[in-house]
Amino acid sequence: MLIEWLTQFKQNNQISLLDIHLALFLTNKAELNDDITAKRFSFLVLSLSKEVRSGHVCLDLNNLDQQFIEPQLWQDLKTPNVQAWQAILEQAESKHVVSDGTKLSPLIFTQNKLYFQRMWCDEVNVAQYFNHTTLVQESNYLIDLKVILNQLFSNNEEPIDWQKVAVAVALTRKVAIISGGPGTGKTTTVAKILAAIRQTNPKARLVTSAPTGKAASRLTESLSRAIEQLSLSNLNINTESITLHRLLGAKADNRSFTYDKDNPLNLDVLVIDEASMVDLNMMARVIDALPSSSRLILLGDKDQLSSVEAGAVFGDLCAFITNGYSKSRAKELSQLTGYSVPISEQKASITDSICLLQKSYRFDKSSGIGLLANAVKDGKSSIVKQLLNNTSLSDIKYQELSSQESYQAVLHDSVNQYKHYLNAINQHSFDDTAAILEKFAQYRLLCAVREGQFGVSGLNKQIELLLVEKKLIHLKTSEAWYVGRPIMILRNSISLGLYNGDIGITLRAQHDHSKLRVYFPLADGSIKGFSPFRLPEHETAYAMTIHKSQGSEFDHVNIILPTNHSPLLNRSLLYTAITRAKKTVSISATNQILQQAIKSQTQRHSGLVDLLLNN
Ligand SMILES: Nc1ncnc2c1ncn2[C@@H]1O[C@H](COP(=O)(O)OP(=O)(O)OP(=O)(O)O)[C@@H](O)[C@H]1O
């Protein structure tokens, strides 16, 4: 019986009960009477659920993972080949459970990839949007833009100032995709893009946003700074950035939005920073809600981790980075910028809307962080080893995590760092919450996993114990809350305006010192206090996962990796962790794990690249 066979998956930690019920429901609906065919079909549905939970958009039949199920269960399937899988899916077509997308069905099978219908629709809509990169029609724009570009870039850098090219790209396409590592001038460039748009259209409604509250408040801050530095304040550019959830008017159920195709957003230009964190579903909702005449500018770092949820739209778009443009586009950009912009072979029209910024203005050639980040990004493990052993690079430090003492050293280092923050609580007046929050943001312990002594829970517990021992915090065993407790929100609360990843600190309430309040910096730069008991799901945040640190930066970062292999460890994870640091970074890991992480590169399965190619 199929149900009995499926029940055996209950113990599988990658499969939920809901996945099993869905597989059973769809298999019954497909009326696959033959036992082996039914098992094979339900295995495909289970695999699809598992893949989506791991961040993939679809199940790629050419990359079928059999490792996640027991060998006995796999043997029950009698090892079908790709043609056999295809035949099963074709059989299910007659009962409208599967289609190639031309008919309504819960599963879509196309190009050897199996999708849930909703994700397939999102992918097709996103591809259609990015394939539709029509020219922005401005009167005489070539002449006007050239003048504006020359005003914004008075010191022409040689051989090519890619920031200038990026501004030209964004001004002449409805869509612009700008990728660059830390400090390559993404914010500076976007400030110039907005300034140029303001000059061509003084009434343009400009909106800047980011996927998380933290990233939005960082964008507000860095954009205001860039506009001030570039003396563009007279152009009246609103720098207050908002989260994508707020932009779309997320409703209390967290799934539906006020703004959509039927009720589009009221804007002319939308900038999304940290675009690598935007999942397929969110990108599709944003595109749905964009008025057809508006422009979209995506900023991000293609080498960072992808979104937590399924899809890697920004990464897929950046697969078309070639460092060059089609012949006609290169001519247009050369005319505008005065640089001889390279021509490259074109595989997709989206290439003409992309620009890669490579020169870091934050880390010079001798900066350990910059060199280390680049070596990790390029998978050069021997260079990483050399850099970490080079004692003359004062901004990077490596500790072999070989013993309990080295583990304790990481904890003590963190306690020493957090001492400054906890002391600040005692020294500052109650009105100085901003200064205390700033102190807390100076240092962070980052880890790769959630559980165990190398995970968030274990590390936070150990740090709290040491802080109690050193009398830096006063924690009663019966209570979780104490002055100084930093926390991270784990679930969005639209009604409170708090979002997954937001960080707050616990202080005495400003108007009633007998009570505790958790203070959060909000995206608009203000600070708001909440009663600890009203907060959505949260956890202590001395240590946080690298995934959650995306979109944040700290002066000093300490990275600890587990001593056993974890599938979570990979190159983008390590690169993301290192690039969170502005001044110093320390890594504690075994050499073997570090090398494994650098060598491991994950690819998310989707059909977006093919859809952009076949445009
Ligand atoms: N063309 C340039 N010439 C000189 N300095 C620059 C240039 N572009 C950017 N900078 C400086 O480099 C620093 C980083 O720039 P910016 O914040 O724009 O980079 P970013 O890519 O947005 O950084 P982040 O990684 O924080 O997102 C800023 O201090 C900025 O003033």
183 is in an annotated binding site: yes
Cross-sheet strand order for the sheet of 527-530: 527-530, 516-521, 503-508, 486-489, 538-540
Check whether the bond before 159 is cis (ω within 30° of 0). Answer: yes
Ligand 1 centroid to residue 213 C-alpha, Å: 21
Whether residue 147 sits in one domain with residue 90: no
Mean pLDDT within 46-56: 89
Atom 23 (ligand 1) nearest CA: 183
Whether residue 283 sits in one domain with residue 391: no
End-to-end CA gap in the chain: 45
Residue 612 lies in a domain: no
CA distance 223 to 40: 53
Residue 615 lies in a domain: no
Q: How far is CA 245 from CA 211, 272, 390, in A?
A: 8, 12, 44
Ligand 1 centroid to residue 197 C-alpha, Å: 20
Q: Which atom of ligand 1 is nearest to the CA of 157?
A: 1
452 is in an annotated binding site: no
Query: Rounded to 5 degrees, what are φ and ψ at 516?
Result: -105, 150
Question: Residue 31, by phi and psi: left (phi above 0), alpha (psi -120 to 50) or beta?
Answer: left
Number of domains composing the chain: 3
Model confidence at 499, in pLDDT bands (50, 70, 90)? confident
536 is in an annotated binding site: no
Residue 173 lies in a domain: yes
Q: What angle do CA 208, 219, 586 make, to 5 degrees?
A: 150
Q: Which atom of ligand 1 is nearest to the CA of 361?
A: 12
Nearest by Cα to 314 from 344, 286, 347: 286
Ligand 1 centroid to residue 226 C-alpha, Å: 8
Cβ distance 543 to 445 under 8 Å? yes
Q: Can you tell me which residue has the tokens 């952009």?
A: 612
Cβ distance 596 to 565 under 8 Å? yes
Q: Tell me which residues have their CB closer than 6 angstroms to ligand 1.
A: 163, 180, 182-188, 222, 226, 229, 361-362
Q: Given 362, 377, 404, which residue is the final one in a domain?
A: 362
Whether residue 472 sits in one domain with residue 353: no
Q: DSSP assignment, residue 136?
A: P
Q: What three-state secondary structure class fits 252? A: coil
Mean pLDDT within 21-41: 84
Whether residue 481 sits in one domain with residue 332: no
Cβ distance 112 to 58 under 8 Å? no
pLDDT per position as a tens digit, 512-567: 777 889 999 876 678 899 999 999 999 999 999 999 888 788 999 999 999 988 88
Helices and strands (DSSP H and E) totals, the chain = 23, 20
Whether residue 374 sits in one domain with residue 357: no
Q: Which domain range does residue 206 map to?
A: 137-362
Whether residue 541 sits in one domain with residue 402: yes
Whether residue 439 sits in one domain with residue 393: yes
Q: What three-state secondary structure class fits 276? A: helix
Q: What is the pLDDT of residue 164?
A: 95
CA distance 119 to 135: 29
Cβ distance 280 to 314 under 8 Å? no
Cβ distance 498 to 489 under 8 Å? yes
Q: What three-state secondary structure class fits 557? A: strand
159 is in an annotated binding site: no
337 is in an annotated binding site: no
39 is in an annotated binding site: no
Q: How far is CA 538 from CA 393, 411, 464, in A?
A: 37, 22, 16
Mean pLDDT within 349-355: 91
Bridge partner list, 260:
263
Whether the pLDDT of residue 137 is over 70: the answer is no
CA distance 519 to 154: 43
**Share above pLDDT 90 across residues of the chain, in percent, rounded to a whole number:** 46
Whether residue 347 sits in one domain with residue 222: yes
Q: How far is CA 340 from CA 148, 153, 165, 325, 522, in A?
A: 19, 16, 10, 11, 44
pLDDT per position as a tens digit, 258-277: 999 999 999 999 999 999 99
Lowest mean pLDDT among 9-13, 369-373, 421-425, 537-541: 9-13
Q: Are strands 107-110 and 269-272 parallel, antiparallel or unpaired?
A: unpaired
Ligand 1 centroid to residue 348 C-alpha, Å: 30
Whether the predicted interface score ipTM is above 0.95? yes
For a mutational test of ligand 1's pocket, the pick from 155, 165, 187, 220, i.e. the residue with the most ligand atoms closer than 8 A to its C-beta, is 187
- Label residues 48-85 b or e (16+ Cβ within 10 Å = b): bbbbbeebbbbbbbeebeeebbeeebeebbeebeeeeb
Ligand 1 centroid to residue 152 C-alpha, Å: 15
Ligand 1 centroid to residue 522 C-alpha, Å: 23
Lowest mean pLDDT among 57-61, 461-465, 520-524: 520-524
Bridge partner list, 180:
357
Whether the pLDDT of residue 139 is over 50: the answer is no
Ligand 1 centroid to residue 225 C-alpha, Å: 10
Whether residue 328 sits in one domain with residue 375: no
Q: Given 336, 362, 388, which residue is the final one in a domain?
A: 362
**Tokens describing residue 56:** 């993939």
Residue 508 lies in a domain: yes
Residue 453 lies in a domain: yes
Whether residue 391 sits in one domain with residue 347: no
213 is in an annotated binding site: no
Residue 613 lies in a domain: no
pTM of the model: 0.87
**One-letter identity of residue 157:** E
Whether residue 242 sits in one domain with residue 156: yes
Q: Are strands 543-545 and 175-180 parallel, antiparallel or unpaired?
A: unpaired
Q: Are strands 107-110 and 98-99 parallel, antiparallel or unpaired?
A: parallel
**One-letter identity of residue 426:** N
CA distance 526 to 521: 6
Atom 4 (ligand 1) nearest CA: 361
Q: Which atom of ligand 1 is nearest to the CA of 190?
A: 18
Q: Can you tell me which residue has the tokens 């056993």?
A: 564
Whether residue 463 sits in one domain with residue 336: no
476 is in an annotated binding site: no
Ligand 1 centroid to residue 162 C-alpha, Å: 13
Ligand 1 centroid to residue 361 C-alpha, Å: 6
Mean pLDDT within 288-316: 90
Mean residue pLDDT across the chain: 87
Cβ distance 583 to 556 under 8 Å? yes
- Label residues 447-459 b or e (16+ Cβ within 10 Å = b): bbbeeebbbbbbb
Length of the chain: 615
Q: Given 328, 362, 396, which residue is the final one in a domain?
A: 362
Cβ distance 597 to 569 under 8 Å? yes
Mean pLDDT within 288-314: 90
Number of other CB atoms surrounding residue 382 within 10 Å: 10
Mean pLDDT within 62-83: 76
Atom 12 (ligand 1) nearest CA: 361
- The full DSSP string for 387-455 is HHH-TT-TTEEEEE--SHHHHHHHHHHHHHHHHHHHHHHHHS-TT-HHHHHHHHTTEEEEESBSSSTTB
Atom 5 (ligand 1) nearest CA: 361
Whether the pLDDT of residue 284 is over 90: the answer is yes
Whether the pLDDT of residue 244 is over 80: the answer is yes
Whether the pLDDT of residue 188 is over 80: the answer is yes
Nearest by Cα to 487 from 504, 501, 465: 504
Residue 318 lies in a domain: yes
Model confidence at 236, in pLDDT bands (50, 70, 90)? confident
Residue 389 lies in a domain: yes
For a mutational test of ligand 1's pocket, the pick from 163, 276, 361, i.e. the residue with the most ligand atoms closer than 8 A to its C-beta, is 361
pLDDT per position as a tens digit, 574-589: 999 999 999 999 999 9
Whether the pLDDT of residue 360 is over 90: the answer is no
Higher pLDDT, 381 or 500: 381
Whether the pLDDT of residue 144 is over 90: the answer is no
Nearest by Cα to 559 from 469, 547, 301, 404: 547
Looking at 30-103, list the stretches that DSSP marks H as alpha helix, in order from N- to C-terminal side: 35-53, 71-76, 82-93
Whether the pLDDT of residue 318 is over 70: the answer is yes
CA distance 383 to 237: 43
CA distance 204 to 235: 11
Model confidence at 325, in pLDDT bands (50, 70, 90)? very high
What CATH number does residue 314 fall under? 3.40.50.300
What CATH number does residue 14 fall under? 1.10.10.1020
